């Protein structure tokens, strides 16, 4: 009798242990900003108010060196598949979480490279999805300057079919509205959830709610020269820069593939050389950009508040990142209306983008650090030590293997009848746990004509399809001294290594 009781007790403990292990699996949220420079976020040195992201950073882990693919679509393609490039056999992050029994939700921007298979599209991998493809305006109904449709579970929506809580309709807000609605459903389930929340802010057009713009009016009258110095000093104080980083000089936009190169927008001017009227106009432009980031942070705050109210925050891993550095491209379509309202259509100019990418060189699309190097914050209560900073480099292709580690599942052998493609990153979980990981053999970023390839201490990068530049990225993180002429053998070595990866064989256009 006693033996039977012991057996029952042992079985009960095993069942409890297994169920406890299941419930300990964390909810996972991945949040992405769009066209936001590394220093635009408060926790990375900016004056823009981002208290929610700052909270995640102060209570979590900040990477000083984290790479993306330098442009919207390749970054999303690599983030969600763990591949620099691929095709059939790619596995979406939501395929992994689904295999682990997660409830999958997406609300936000979807934009892929052509190599991403159809079965990886949102409606095929998420239980609920609200999304749009690439650029759309923020206020609805749109002005008509640039329109693309929205989709709910794969069905195209008219503007009047989109559900929203606050009028007038504003994209950053109603993206969150859908996510919060589906979180209610997630909370009713016993399964953990995966929420992918790729915002469109602060991609052009520069449109924001008036009350958010007013908050920043006048803050930028001191100009980009002084603000770059201030941000750089704060970044040094916070410890979010590589140890030997220096402030790069101000830089024009020389991307001949993204025209037109309009001097008023693409050329650098000393701030004090401008008239008061010009300064006021430029202050408004940057105030709208800041307001867009502020509104995104407010909405991330809505998500955290809901998690806390429902007792879910303590068992949730939250990752925040941006898809690329700040964008300097002249994309104005309506020039007789100042930036901000629904009937305007402006883009951020080069010198403000240069401020966002402080202290680095170059911009979106470029493999130089200004385009490829942005914030990465990981928050996981009870797992990740609060207010920690790591100098170990990471990349968006590392997210998929990190998921595998956290979910404690094996990468599938096949998907949709195709043998799976091997992942090209490695897990960040050791870094999350405060340990050293073996650094990957290489990192890749930038569009093909703007490609960078980093291996160990050195990095090659090119601009406008021209000759490879070479930098010792540990000694010279802001790429001030091109070593290509003095170390030609190193250039050849890295260029051959890059060619051997075959990553550059997939066509890409700026």
Does residue 490 form part of some domain?
Answer: no
Q: Is residue 425, in this structure, part of any structural domain at all? A: yes
Q: What is the pLDDT of residue 508?
A: 44
Report the CATH number at residue 184: 3.40.720.10
pTM: predicted TM-score of the whole model, two decimal places: 0.94
8 falls within a domain:
no
Q: Is residue 127 one of the residues assigned to a domain?
A: yes
Residue 125 lies in a domain: yes
Tell me the two tokens of residue 95. 């395929």
244: domain range? 25-435
The count of structural domains within the chain is 1
Tens-digit pLDDT profile for residues 155-167: 999 888 999 999 9
CA 142/CA 166 separation, integer angstroms: 16
- Cβ-contact 368, 260 below 8 angstroms: no
| Tens of pLDDT, residues 453-505 | 999 999 999 999 999 999 999 999 999 999 999 999 999 999 999 999 988 65
Model pLDDT, residue 195: 98
Task: Report yes or no on 99 lying in a domain.
Answer: yes
Termini Cα distance of the chain: 76
- Give a yes or no: residue 149 inside a domain: yes
pLDDT at site 149: 86
> Could you tell me the two tokens for 386?
């609060």
The three-class DSSP label of residue 250 is coil
- In 334-436, where does DSSP find H-type helix? 350-356, 369-372, 399-407, 429-432
Residue 484, domain member (yes or no): no
């Amino acid at each position: 009798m006693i033996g039977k009781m012991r057996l029952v007790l042992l079985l009960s403990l095993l069942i409890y242990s297994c169920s406890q292990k299941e419930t300990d699996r964390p909810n996972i949220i991945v949040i992405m900003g769009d066209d936001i420079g590394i220093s635009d976020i408060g926790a990375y040195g900016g004056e823009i108010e981002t208290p929610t992201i700052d909270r995640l950073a102060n209570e979590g882990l900040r990477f000083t060196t984290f790479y993306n693919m330098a442009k919207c679509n390749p970054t999303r393609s690599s983030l969600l598949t763990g591949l620099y490039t691929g095709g059939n056999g790619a596995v979406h992050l939501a395929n992994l979480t689904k295999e682990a029994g997660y409830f999958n939700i997406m609300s936000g921007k979807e934009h892929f490279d052509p190599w991403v298979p159809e079965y990886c599209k949102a409606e095929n991998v998420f239980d609920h999805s609200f999304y749009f493809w690439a650029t759309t305006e923020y206020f609805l109904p749109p002005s008509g300057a640039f329109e693309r449709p929205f989709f709910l579970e794969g069905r195209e929506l008219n503007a009047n079919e989109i559900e929203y809580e606050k009028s007038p309709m504003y994209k950053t807000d109603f993206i969150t509205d859908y996510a919060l609605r589906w979180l209610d459903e997630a909370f009713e389930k016993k399964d953990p959830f995966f929420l992918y929340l790729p915002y469109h802010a602060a991609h052009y057009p520069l449109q924001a709610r008036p009350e958010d713009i007013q908050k920043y009016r006048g803050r930028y009258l001191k100009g980009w020269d002084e603000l770059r110095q201030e941000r750089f000093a704060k970044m040094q104080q916070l410890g979010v820069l590589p140890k030997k980083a220096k402030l790069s000089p101000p830089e024009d936009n020389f991307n001949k593939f993204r025209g037109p190169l309009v001097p008023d927008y693409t050329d650098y001017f000393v701030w004090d050389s401008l008239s008061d009227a010009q300064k006021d106009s430029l202050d408004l432009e940057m105030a709208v950009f800041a307001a867009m980031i502020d509104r995104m942070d407010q909405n991330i705050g809505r998500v955290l508040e809901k998690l806390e109210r429902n007792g879910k925050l303590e068992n949730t891993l939250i990752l925040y990142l941006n898809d690329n550095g700040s964008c300097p491209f002249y994309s104005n379509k309506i020039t007789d209306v100042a930036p901000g309202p629904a009937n305007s259509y402006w883009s951020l100019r080069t010198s403000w983008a240069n401020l966002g990418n402080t202290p680095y060189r170059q911009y979106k699309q470029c493999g130089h650090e200004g385009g490829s190097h942005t914030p990465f914050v990981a928050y996981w209560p009870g797992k990740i030590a609060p207010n920690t900073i790591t100098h170990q480099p990471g990349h968006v292709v590392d997210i998929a293997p990190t998921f595998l580690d956290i979910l404690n599942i094996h990468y599938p052998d096949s998907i949709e009848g195709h043998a799976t493609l091997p992942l090209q990153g490695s897990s960040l979980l050791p870094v999350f746990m405060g340990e050293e990981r073996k650094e990957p053999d290489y990192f890749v970023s930038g569009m093909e004509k703007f490609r960078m390839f980093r291996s160990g201490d050195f990095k090659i990068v090119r601009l406008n399809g021209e000759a490879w530049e070479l930098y010792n990225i540990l000694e010279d993180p802001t790429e001030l001294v091109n070593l290509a002429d003095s170390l030609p053998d190193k250039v050849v070595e890295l260029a051959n290594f890059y060619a051997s990866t075959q990553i550059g064989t997939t066509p890409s256009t700026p």
